[in-house]
Amino acid sequence: MPARIKLNSLLFPILAVAALILQVIDPSRIWKALLISFGGAWLIAWIWAYALKNNLRLTREVRYEWAQVGDTLEEQFTLKNNGLFPAAWVEVQDHSTLPNYSTARATGAGSDETNTWHTRGVCTRRGVYTLGGTTLHSGDPLGIYTIEIDQPESSILVVMPPVIPLPSIEIMPGGWMGDGRSRSNSLERTVNVLNVREYEPGEPLKLIHWPTTARRGKLYSRVLDSSPASDWWIVLDADAKVQAGHDWESTMELGVILAASLAARGLQTRHSVGLLSNGLNHQQTVWLKPQSNEAQRLQIMRALAMLEPGTLPLADLLERAAPTLGQRTSLVVITPSIKSDWLSPLTQLWWKGISPTVLLMDPSTFGARQHADSLANVLAGMGIPRFILSRDLLQRSEADPTLRSKNEWRIMPTGKAVPTRPQKDMDWRRLG
């Protein structure tokens, strides 16, 4: 670890040199005593600082290499002093980039002593961050010298976006118009919902559509498609020119959360899910072909964690994607754009047998003047399923970890309290 010794004050060296000069010019017990005092203190301080520079060591370990918004990040620090001189004070300076997280600490370590402590913090924002490096500051008890020990080792931490329940959003199954109609005598059914109807005695309770039941005051069942499950292409509009809001409370962040939540739902219901977005820049887009495995989920979440606003319009993105989208595909468009220029390429995809579902983020709820109602009416006239989503979704505790209880516990029937979101990976990993 690179280390430096810095002289804080010239007082002791000047006094020692002055006493030496006076002793040479006019020998006296006074000058000799001052020389021994100031010179000895200066020498001892340098030896002390040099010993700390060579013998102080810090080890930094973390439990997880990736996390999700709302997860608790825990680190373990081990400060070791292998020398004969104690470190009366040690300042630990952290250079991590994770928002609202710092491991800065003032501590110490005696002669041949080990000091271990833990730090905890909540991951509050999605993104790719750096944990480390670290700088140690210490010095001799007289304050003549200060040492700096740089520990450049660091690790990359990916904080994935939160996943929230979206019970009122149903994705239109892929296929041509009229294809894949339900058959009541079908033994195998997929999770593609075509419609709802009144509940009939004897039907499985898992088919009950609870939002409709609560709204109409009586039981309603979901009508499921008996055709094979279609692929889901999630298209997230990250065009910077159409976004509304600022920082965390923006359509950009809401769109990322919606995409993450829909991807999790699709993969859980055994759909192959892909992601398409115009983020990053004009030349580069996010393009993940549909797959239905755990690796795909992690790829989608990582891409969403890194996503930044881009410059490619949604209409151009849909035109570029058209040749690669197969039939029997469900296209989920997530956008705050109330312009109608992207409806033309969307209609062309629909004619090819690609079934669109549009999630409109209402920019008016983020402080913009535009409303999503007019475009929603146009989509309704075209027969395209559409859902208007507002800023309120960002106020849920699942989306904003600051609204959650610091101690989330569930009481078991036996009376034992267990954490509601236990961490699975509990191994310590050294940074670097």
pLDDT per position as a tens digit, 383-408: 999 999 988 888 877 777 766 554 45
Q: Looking at residue 238, what is its pLDDT?
A: 92
Chain segment 340-374, per-residue pLDDT in tens? 899 999 999 988 888 999 999 999 998 888 888 88
Indicate whether 119 pLDDT > 80. yes
Mean pLDDT, the chain, rounded, equals: 82
3-state secondary structure of 123: coil
Q: For the segment 314-325, what is each residue's pLDDT rounded down to a tens digit?
A: 999 999 988 888
Taking a C-beta distance cutoff of 8 angstroms, is the pair 48, 40 a contact?
A: no
SS (H, E, C) 337-381: CCCCCCHHHHHHHHHCCCEEEEEEECHHHHCCCCCCHHHHHHHHH
- In CATH terms, the fold of domain 165-180+228-425 is Rossmann fold (3.40.50)
Q: Phi then psi for 151, rounded to 5 degrees?
A: -115, 100
Q: Give the residue with greater pLDDT, 89 vs 408.
A: 89
Distance CA(401)–CA(405), nearest Å, equals 8
Q: What is the pLDDT of residues 403-413, one digit of tens each?
A: 655 445 454 44
CA distance 308 to 59: 34
Centroid of chain to Cα 251: 17
Strand, coil or helix: 57: strand
CA 323 to chain centre: 33
Averaged over 3-22, what is the pLDDT? Answer: 83
Between 18 and 48, whose confidence is greater?
48
The answer, yes or no, to whether residue 227 has pLDDT greater than 90, is: no
CA distances, 169 to each of 10, 332, 400 (Å): 72, 11, 21
**The predicted structure's pLDDT at residue 204:** 73
State residue 191's pLDDT score.
Answer: 44
Report, as an integer, the average pLDDT of 41-64: 89
* The domain made up of 55-160 is a member of CATH 3.40.1440.10: no
- pLDDT tops 90 at residue 102: no
Q: How far apart are CA 160 and CA 144, in angstroms?
A: 47
Neighbours of 54 (CB within 10 A): 13
The pTM for the full model equals 0.73
Torsion sign over Cα 20, 21, 24, 27: negative
Mind listing the pLDDT tens digit for each residue in 244-298?
998 888 999 999 999 999 999 999 888 899 999 987 655 578 899 999 888 999 9
Q: For position 406, what pLDDT does the model report?
A: 47
Q: Which two tokens stand for residue 189?
A: 């059914």
State what percent of residues in the chain have pLDDT above 90.
33
pLDDT above 70 as % of the chain: 85
- The model's pLDDT over 182-201, given as tens digits with 9 standing for 90+, comes to 333 333 344 444 567 787 77
